[in-house]
Amino acid sequence: MTSCPARRELTLRGLILGAVITVIFTASNVYLGLRIGLTFASSIPAAVISMAVLRMLGGGTLLENTMVQSQASAAGTLSCVFATFPGLILCGFWQEFPFWQTAGLSLAGGVLGVLFTIPLRHALVTRSSLPYPEGVAAAEILRAGADTTDSRNLRALVAGGVMSTLFSLGSGTVRIFSDTLTLTASAGQAVFQLQAGLSPALIGAGYLVGISGGLAMLAGCALAWGVAVPWLTAYLPNPDHLAPAAFAHALWLHKVRFAGAGAIAVAALWTLVELLPPVVAGLRTVLQRPEHDVLHDRERDLSPRAMIVLLLLSTAMLGWFFAAFLAPFLPDGGWPLVGAAVGFCVIFGFIMAAACGYMAGLVGSSSSPISGIIIVGAVLAALMLLGLEALNMIPPALMADRQRLATAFTILVLSAITATIAISNDNLQDLKTGQLVGASPWKQEAALVAGCIAGAAVIPPVLNLLYQAYGFTDALPHPGMDPTRALAAPQPALIMMIVHGIFTHALDWSMLGTGAALGVGLIGLDLLLRRKALALPPLGVAVGLYLPASVSLTLAAGAVLGWAIKRNRQNPAQPDTTGTMVASGFIVGESLTGVAQAALSGLAGQDNVLSLAGVLPAFLPPLLGGICFTALCWWFTRQARTPQPT
């Protein structure tokens, strides 16, 4: 810590404030994730709340706000373990979420994620041109809040935030606007569908992402909804006689999305191969630098000694909790299995951390396909256990009782990996923010570890509270509970189905294999395009294939809109400050509204408590949504094209 007010960074009050914000964001994200399968990025709301509170307390600095934002966003992101831990309830293995196992595995995985970001920081932040839309937006917000001499940037940020908040209230709270527009058409048996999300945050993120990432996402969306879904609807039967739109969505969800996961796996490995030289160079720089070297704070990471200690503690915690989980069923503790599981967490966790970090830099943390990476991890973890079984390295009890223990242990291992990749995904955005505002990397990394500790302590009681209050679909803790109020827990149910399907040899591998072949083809196409000074990032295309069209299409629209605005600005030579600030405001407004909506939903026990959609004609919300969203984009264009006064 530093005593100089201008350089006040890592402070006690900042750590306490970050821990308090952690409780809010973790609870909100876990609730939203279990109910609808989605979460909100916490970096930007954390920055806004930190600025407001520290300004009231007095003496808050830009760098102190950065540390609070880093800590709180790490804890909010750690809540992504909601996608795996409830699977242990759904498969009947747990009756509650034990505090020490849930918190310990979340913490160990999260700390590994922080450690992995250190060499990745050198490869993906300091030596990379990736746009990091949310990291840039957070930096602009922090700068605008700290700059008391020039209010123009702050006015642009606030204007974007107000417009985005008003639209989000209309679409997500009172619901007089639709949040998506869907067009469905048929040609014979083939179904074509176009779906756009009416989201100011996605338009803002696309603007910050740039044209290359946006077009890659658009290409993936076109492959999914312009090729795969029409072909499948034309040739596969529809035994449940679903409507064309519902049939198309079902095939995308259960077929095409798995192809996207296969393409993500191959493209992620290729991305790691390309990143390997700078990652190794960054790791060598960190580990070989003598600790007594005097470096500027903007260049220093955690010391090699601290990294080694944290690595040993994290892996020891993983081994301990894995062994404790197996001990009641395997008298010898299953130590070969435990060692293999810990090694898998470290190796696979680092590979996927690099892939998620790259995608976070390309399209933002909110659009990074963590759920797709978890699917890949589930497949590989289950295959690892099958491989060990073939080599007679695991006790027969693991596969007894219809592979119940094997399914549960795989989900447990996957929970630790989820914490690792989620933290890496978000932390690189935070480190980009720190780079832009001049923060000390090692202090940010320490704040990130503190965020993991706070988040891990909050997650088990929140999971238990929600489970006891609502239950999960097909898993109600008390007799007589209303099943219509149960949390859907879509990701845990999907993960459990995949893992158990692998062990029982019931999983359809065809789409995963098709996606893997597509990933190889995308890599080849990208290599050919590079010879002509062009590029089509394979991972970006794979993510566009995997994500809902409402996300991919709108983000791509924001990228194209940004490209058009920058080409036709009144003064192209002037820095694009206004457009960046308004785009950041769009992300701020929708993020803060998402926090408020999550809190309201949690208090009311339902997510439509203020909805007026039921009293409006069916045609009106889509019409109003389309008109207002078009007007919002037009207003954004006018603001971004107008030069700032000098």
Span 16-45, average pLDDT: 69
User: Could you give the percent of the chain with pLDDT greater than 90?
Assistant: 10
Span 218-229, average pLDDT: 90
pLDDT of residue 105: 93
pLDDT of 4 strictly over 50: no
Sorting pLDDT into bands at 50, 70 and 90, what band is 123? confident
pLDDT of 176 strictly over 80: yes
380 part of a folded domain: yes
Q: How far is CA 454 from CA 18, 271, 595, in A?
A: 9, 32, 19
For residue 428, give the 3-state DSSP assignment: helix
CA of residue 139 relative to chain centroid, distance: 19
pLDDT of 2 strictly over 50: no
pLDDT of 342 strictly over 90: yes
pLDDT of 292 strictly over 60: no
pLDDT of 208 strictly over 50: yes
Interhelix angle 200-209/335-363, nearest 10 degrees: 90
pLDDT of 204 strictly over 70: yes
328 part of a folded domain: yes
115 part of a folded domain: yes
pLDDT of residue 3: 41
User: Could you give the percent of the chain with pLDDT greater than 70?
Assistant: 81
464 part of a folded domain: yes
- Please, what is the average pLDDT of the chain? 78
Sorting pLDDT into bands at 50, 70 and 90, what band is 148? low
pLDDT of residue 544: 82
Sorting pLDDT into bands at 50, 70 and 90, what band is 646? very low
Out of 84-93, 130-139, 237-246, 421-430, least confident range: 130-139
* Pairwise CA distance, residues 626 & 84, whole Å: 36
* Residue 187 dihedral angles phi and psi, to the nearest 5°: -130, 95
Based on its alpha-carbon atoms, the radius of gyration of the chain, rounded to whole angstroms, reads 24
314 part of a folded domain: yes
Span 296-304, average pLDDT: 70
pLDDT of 104 strictly over 90: yes
In the numeric block, which tokens belong to residue 276?
Answer: 């390997």
pLDDT of 610 strictly over 50: yes
pLDDT of residue 294: 43
449 part of a folded domain: yes
- pLDDT single digits (tens) 476-515: 777 776 666 676 676 787 788 788 888 887 777 888 888 8
Comparing 453 with 124, which gets the higher pLDDT?
453
For residue 501, give the 3-state DSSP assignment: helix
For residue 487, give the 3-state DSSP assignment: strand
In the numeric block, which tokens belong to residue 544?
Answer: 């566009």
597 part of a folded domain: no
Span 442-463, average pLDDT: 85
- pLDDT single digits (tens) 378-410: 888 888 888 888 888 777 777 777 778 888 899
What length is written for the chain? 646
- When divided into structural domains, the chain yields a total of 1
- pLDDT single digits (tens) 404-434: 888 889 999 999 998 998 888 777 778 888 8
- pLDDT single digits (tens) 508-534: 788 888 888 998 998 898 888 888 877
* Pairwise CA distance, residues 558 & 547, whole Å: 16
Q: Are 376 and 355 in contact (CB under 8 A)?
A: no
Sorting pLDDT into bands at 50, 70 and 90, what band is 318? very high
Domain of 474 in residue numbering reads as: 5-147+274-290+300-480+490-503
Residue with tokens 């639209």: 167
* Pairwise CA distance, residues 591 & 644, whole Å: 27
pLDDT of residue 235: 87
pLDDT of 120 strictly over 60: yes
* Pairwise CA distance, residues 515 & 533, whole Å: 26
541 part of a folded domain: no
pLDDT of residue 416: 92
Q: How many CB atoms lie within 10 A of CB 97?
A: 21
Out of 242-246, 570-574, 628-632, least confident range: 570-574
CA of residue 150 relative to chain centroid, distance: 34
